[in-house]
Structure 1
Amino acid sequence: MSSYALDNLLPYADPGVQVDGAFGLRVAAVQNTDLHLTRVNSDSRLIIRGIPGTRWQHELSARWQELDEGGNPPLWREPVLSSFEREDQVKHPRVRNGERELAWLGSGLLRRIALFHKSSSAYSTRSWITGGEWIFELDTRRDVPLDHDTLLARLMDPVWGLSLRISDSHCTCHNPPLPDRYMRQCTYDLVHTEGKPGGLQIRFRHGRAIYGRNVREDLERVGADSAWLDRVLPQRLADDSSEAFE
């Protein structure tokens, strides 16, 4: 996972084409299993904490060598925006402007990232960006009650939340039961209360465990909090029944 993170986050140039990775992202420091990231012209820090045994320096050196040998200059040590990044801004204004338009949402979500495991019943959270919309997909196992109202209320809290309102929704919680092989989904679209561009869609999925029977064991192995695991992946069915997994 540490290698995967670096491959997708750290910027590098494809000369004459574009900059891949997170534009303007820089490595600020490595402290044990913590990778400190920052942005050009910013004092902010994002810390990615690896599991015990993570070797960030080794992964960084290997990634640098791989890119350098492939003719793709790595950019995460540059103190300012590189010439490649400045050229990219000129060549791809729509892409970079779109990223800036979503910055308010990404910044706000990052500062409230704990809500996704503190305020939902999901054991898995994925996200991606399509156009001007940030999509989150949360999976809750069938034998655990689905709770989307708590997360939504906290995201839209007038004091501690973001300036969001629900623009559209489709809830299936009160629909007739579905056969076990089907996944139920409730979808909520949220937009800025004052019309800023960019939106948020959250998909709450309720059904079988999509990662198979050993997902709890895998999470225990990497040090997941036991109280959280007992809430989102209760042990009672893990050993004596496959009903919730098939």
Structure 2
Amino acid sequence: MRTSKSRGKIAHRRSFYTGESFRWLMDHARLRGDARLPAATGDQAWLESEIFRRITNSGWWLAHPLGIASVQIERDNSLTIHLDGCFRAVDTAYPFSLHVVHELLPHLGVDGEFWGVPGLRVNTVNGRDLVVSLVDSPAKVTLCSVPAAELQGIPRNRWKHQIADLETMLNHDGLPHFWNSPTRTAAERDFAVQAPLTSACRRELAWLGSALLRRAALLHTASTAYNTKNLLKGDTWHIEFFTRHGVPVDHDRLLKRLCDPALGLPIRVIDSSCACNLSKEHGTLCTFNLAGEGTERPALRLAFSHHRYGDEELRMKLADVGASENWLDRVLPKQPAPQPEAA
């Protein structure tokens, strides 16, 4: 039997990756001796990967990288995702849950393009929680929406209202939606047939998308980036980190955590290009390609952009959408006031 001190050390390490609270981990999680993070498989991994792919590709201003404050791995190995309350696009703030509803719920667009996650269904809506599942599968994910900051005049996150608004809009345009269908629809089956390579790549890399989602907190606890973008392109996940000039990139710290044999991923760096020692007058870019076990084909590409953009106005925008002062002091420290010129 493990001592409380030993379990506490394991809980602290795991929280660095997931953002799970120390108390919840101590009370509910199975803290094994090797401290490994439970992995999702099969439909559960694919559902998590698709959610990660679709809701984190915006590049908007958010309180946390990719709009995810933390995740919680439940005892049944399903996942709860704690989302940011809002995002800022240009000069307007919106509830982040609005973006999530439009990105995840399966429907057809005006051009006939399939939108959302094929087979995803709205299971239950309970206050701040939206539970989604897959047709004919026990896989499920709970999306927990933090109330948007009312001080900025942002409407509260209301899953039911936003789902109803999307349904009304689609009905007005005569477009079908599928998130309440008891079976997989023809449009959802046709998507895999019409885009076989795309569908196959997403299935093949589901383990990685799910694993990254389950370690979402790592993107802000072990990174100095103030903005992060995520994209699945072909058969490679691309994640780009934006760091302001004057703030250390510190990509080695993130890579060490990401490749940790216990809590990290079964991946390794296969090639890299580091420009940290070059002149930063015009910005630099460092890139790392990582591959899974037994292959030299890159599954994950990390890019670290280091440049001069990132001023006090940007810091204020991030603070307005809920970014903590401690995080902002680390990634966008306040600039010293200019000194008056000597007489």
Q: Which has the higher contact order (CA 8 A, sep 6+)?
A: 2
Residue 178 of structure 1 pairs with residue 280 of structure 2:
yes
Aligned mates of 1:31, 1:226 — CA distance in 2: 31
Aligned mates of 1:57, 1:150 — CA distance in 2: 41
Counterparts of residues 151-230 of structure 1 (less than 5 Å): 151-175=254-278, 177-179=279-281, 182-195=282-295, 199-209=299-309, 213-230=312-329
Native 8 Å contact 1:188 1:201 kept in 2:
yes
Is there any run of 5+ residues in structure 2 with no aligned partner, and where?
Answer: 1-95, 149-155, 339-343
Query: Does the residue aligned with 1:214 lie in a helix, a strand or coil?
Result: helix
Partner residue of 1:47 out of 125, 143, 149: 143
Is there any run of 5+ residues in structure 1 with no aligned partner, and where?
Answer: 242-246
Aligned mates of 1:214, 1:146 — CA distance in 2: 21
Report how far residue 112 of structure 1 moved.
Answer: 0.6
Aligned mates of 1:214, 1:30 — CA distance in 2: 37
Partner residue of 1:120 out of 211, 215, 223: 223
Are the structure 2 counterparts of residues 48 and 187 from structure 1 closer, same or farther at C-alpha, using a change threshold of 3 Å?
farther
How does the TM-score come out when normalised to structure 1? 0.85
Query: Does the residue aligned with 2:243 lie in a helix, a strand or coil?
Result: strand
Native 8 Å contact 1:166 1:189 kept in 2:
yes
Are the structure 2 counterparts of residues 220 and 189 from structure 1 closer, same or farther at C-alpha, using a change threshold of 3 Å?
same
Residue 6 of structure 1 pairs with residue 106 of structure 2:
no
The alignment-based identity, stated in percent, is: 37
Number of residue pairs matched by the alignment: 235
Cα deviations across residues 122-164 of structure 1 (Å, max 9, x unaligned)? 1111111211111111011112111101111111111111111
Are the structure 2 counterparts of residues 231 and 145 from structure 1 closer, same or farther at C-alpha, using a change threshold of 3 Å?
same
Which residue does the alignment assign to 2:47? Answer: none
How does the TM-score come out when normalised to structure 2? 0.62
Report how far residue 82 of structure 1 moved.
Answer: 2.1
Which residue does the alignment assign to 1:244? Answer: none
Query: Does the residue aligned with 1:45 lie in a helix, a strand or coil?
Result: strand
Which residue does the alignment assign to 1:37? Answer: 132
Aligned mates of 1:197, 1:63 — CA distance in 2: 40
Cα deviations across residues 178-198 of structure 1 (Å, max 9, x unaligned)? 32xx22110001111223976
- Structure 1 runs (4+) greater than 4 angstroms displaced: 14-18
Native 8 Å contact 1:27 1:35 kept in 2:
yes
Aligned mates of 1:234, 1:34 — CA distance in 2: 34
Counterparts of residues 1-150 of structure 1 (less than 5 Å): 1-13=96-108, 19-40=114-135, 41-52=137-148, 53-150=156-253
Deviation larger for 15-24 or 26-35? 15-24
Report how far residue 171 of structure 1 moved.
Answer: 0.2
Report how far residue 48 of structure 1 moved.
Answer: 4.6
